[in-house]
Amino acid sequence: MQKDSAMPNALSAETIGAATFADCGENKSHLKLFRVNAGVPLVEALEHASHVLYYAKMLSLEAAMDPRAERFAFASHYLGEMGKAIIDDLLLAMQPGTPPAQ
């Protein structure tokens, strides 16, 4: 099996700072408040995403099970959005032909 030189080594991948998150309100989905920082190594970024998504899961479960816990719903939403942005940024970084970090 021949290795494709255009494909970055997945283990040496880093975030590239392309993924954004946190819409700035109604009719402003094109405006994002936050961006994943470029240059974070794959393992550290995945560890962080795992923690963020774990707490998003816990908060959403609490919000679903306890009618008094609705205040957790938006916290869960934002944490889920953050975790997704980290994963999306890493996936972009590992695709051939991806531009360098921002």
- What does the alpha-carbon distance between residue 7 and residue 16 come to, in Å, rounded to a whole number? 15
Is 31 within the bounds of a domain?
A: yes
Rounded to two decimals, the pTM is 0.80
Over residues 39-92, the pLDDT tens digits come to: 999 999 999 999 999 999 999 999 999 988 888 998 999 999 999 999 999 999
Asked if residues 39 and 14 have their Cβ atoms less than 8 Å apart, the reply is yes
For the record, the structure tokens of 97 come out as 């032909």
Asked if residues 56 and 79 have their Cβ atoms less than 8 Å apart, the reply is yes
Is 1 within the bounds of a domain?
A: no
Domain containing 47 equals 14-93
Over residues 8-50, the pLDDT tens digits come to: 566 778 999 999 999 888 888 888 899 999 999 999 999 999 9
- What does the alpha-carbon distance between residue 55 and residue 75 come to, in Å, rounded to a whole number? 9
Is 7 within the bounds of a domain?
A: no
Is 98 within the bounds of a domain?
A: no
Is 6 within the bounds of a domain?
A: no
Number of domains the chain is built from: 1
- Alpha-carbon dihedral sign for residues 27, 85, 37, 19: negative
